Structure 1
């Protein structure tokens, strides 16, 4: 009589990794910031679509573009993010270039000169940037040393709520001083940061529970703790 063979579950490869963790003892994670593969092939930026507030980076005369066009004076780019009405580029050397609407500080640079928001411009930061993210009216950058800087504003159902307790931030501010962050992500109006120990931190609008730590009632600006709650960066307990 033939003997049935037991099925053996194969191990995945690539990004599919299985971790076995004992329930009796929690293990402290130590994460690193690997360089993404696309950093090896920098290139130019092509934009198309609506450009009424300069989000195409093609100047004040181009309000719409149906075919891709090269953004001038921006090369060696390894990553691009599109916000609500602004565009963010990351160069191979770790510089951040922005253009588009700057009404709420999403560009992170001085645009007092007429028309300067419609042309690419550099954001001044203290180190090499390895990751960028953008929301509707904010931008964030992760530096090689693990610091996170952000600028612009979050919004809720009542309108602009600012990026910090001071309100809209038109210049980059450090979001999580004293922590080493390895990855960031932006929603429309909130920011998520993952540190080297696997701890998650959130800030921004939490009206739909997107912060993972604030009740709907508590997230309202009309509540007793609303204004202070969204402005602070607190740990998300998992």
Structure 2
């Protein structure tokens, strides 16, 4: 996911759609038959039993050490009020997420904020909170702290200063006032300005706001900005959540996919107009997708993997990022509803899929990483001169612009995890080493350079050299890697 959306496309003529394709979830309303209390049948209290909770997912158990790098202008690195710079060149251990104090077991990275799930079940947040993404009050009367006032002799710091709000900069538990005491969170997801948390019994809580190409849309049809976590009505039996820049996917135990959020770029898999864009904030089931086992998102495009191995893509396609080659590269190109990605059919069993602004990736069961999409921003990590010409779309000046077919990424080993920011990526390999590539402004690749990184390079400094990394996340202008504690 990434911080900025591309310009809205010119839409193709509308076509009639089968009603079964998009099925809305609406809050249930208890029917009234007009009976009075005295007319209701008597119930024995002994017959009233509390329904046992069905556990669908569990949180990870492994406690993590968390390392951060890149831009910190919105306090997204979570280094607290002791941060000395607006950017960190190479990985730095976050002391506010110490294994013995917090015990992080799971993380989610948004455009300019992060979430962490602790072994205690507490959800922490930090970063930009202008639109409620942190799910807690960060009003601070003490004034912003000037980072240039904090002395540092670290070569990992940029010499550029900045100001931060200590309450945003310090990982802090979300507001749990509307969350029942027995709630157990297992997964987190973060978009640009909203956050979501999945419970072990398949419910979803959320907070923040969705934004469209013309500004704020809202959190729900009746709420513009949701500042504290609230239960999302109508969703149940959910086993996974994934967030793009301004949209969310949820997968349930039956293999159905639900979508909600901004939809101008077809990322919701159906046509959204100005008239119905608020209704798009209510989760809908995509009726054409069945027996789905995995979901993923790019900034404004979406993916689903079916039990039979087929991969589906839809949404913005101006750089072929959905994997659908038809109209790839055309200005305003979109894939309006889920379509099979033919280019992935014979490349192995896909186990994970996602993307950034205009590029995408997939990981196979053997650890092979495949990439496609925009070439001129280095986010595909390819040596462009070595690519088969038939896989490349050139611009009007004859310059390679789009990698239209999924192509293997030259990594030094098999991938365990890949994460995409707007225009940069991080891959964690089976040997515990991490590699990054792409646009490196604000040192978001963690390589100590702000020059573009064309192909994968090892992330290496004393902080992570002896660590076995197991996870990576990529935000708008920053990155996070984690090692087993």
- Partner in structure 2 of residue 172 of structure 1: 229
For residues 178 and 153 of structure 1, do their structure 2 counterparts lie closer, same or farther at Cα, with a shift above 3 Å needed? closer
Query: Structure 2: 5+ residue runs without aligned partners?
Result: 1-53, 142-164, 289-485
Contact 1:104 1:153 in 2 (8 A): yes
Quote how far apart the aligned CAs of 1:82 are. Answer: 1.4
- Match 1:232 to one of 270, 276, 282: 282
Contact 2:56 2:201 in 1 (8 A): no
Quote how far apart the aligned CAs of 1:32 are. Answer: 7.2
How many Å separate the matches in 1 of 2:55 and 2:239? 6
Quote how far apart the aligned CAs of 1:118 are. Answer: 1.1
How many Å separate the matches in 1 of 2:235 and 2:220? 17
- Partner in structure 1 of residue 146 of structure 2: none
Quote how far apart the aligned CAs of 1:43 are. Answer: 1.8
- Match 1:189 to one of 243, 246, 262: 246
Q: Does the alignment pair 1:41 with 2:41?
A: no
Q: Does the alignment pair 1:157 with 2:213?
A: yes
Q: 1:8-157 residue pairs with structure 2 within 5 A?
A: 33-35=56-58, 39-60=60-81, 61-62=83-84, 63-74=86-97, 75=99, 76-114=103-141, 115=165, 116-123=167-174, 124=176, 125-126=179-180, 127-157=183-213
Contact 1:139 1:151 in 2 (8 A): yes
- SS of the aligned residue for 2:96 comes to coil
- Which structure has the larger Rg? 2
Contact 1:33 1:183 in 2 (8 A): no
Quote how far apart the aligned CAs of 1:78 are. Answer: 1.5
How many Å separate the matches in 2 of 1:139 and 1:153? 9
- Partner in structure 2 of residue 18 of structure 1: none
TM-score (norm 2): 0.39
For residues 161 and 178 of structure 1, do their structure 2 counterparts lie closer, same or farther at Cα, with a shift above 3 Å needed? closer
Contact 2:205 2:229 in 1 (8 A): yes
| Range 139-148 or range 173-182, more displaced | 173-182
Contact 2:196 2:207 in 1 (8 A): yes
| CA offsets 1:7-60 (integer angstroms, 9 cap, x no match) | xxxxxxxxxxxxxxxxxxxxxxxx973547xx2321222111111111011124
Quote how far apart the aligned CAs of 1:180 are. Answer: 2.0
- SS of the aligned residue for 2:139 comes to coil
How many Å separate the matches in 2 of 1:34 and 1:226? 32
Name the structure, 1 or 2, with higher relative contact order (CA <8 Å, separation 6+): 2
| CA offsets 1:159-186 (integer angstroms, 9 cap, x no match) | 1111112111111122244622111111
| CA offsets 1:176-234 (integer angstroms, 9 cap, x no match) | 4462211111111101112222222110011121112x31xxx233xx3233x222222
Contact 1:32 1:182 in 2 (8 A): no
Contact 1:162 1:168 in 2 (8 A): yes
How many residues of Structure 1 are paired with residues of Structure 2 in the alignment?
199
CA RMSD, Structure 1 to Structure 2 (Å)? 2.0
How many Å separate the matches in 1 of 2:267 and 2:135? 25
Query: Structure 1: 5+ residue runs without aligned partners?
Result: 1-30
Contact 1:89 1:98 in 2 (8 A): yes
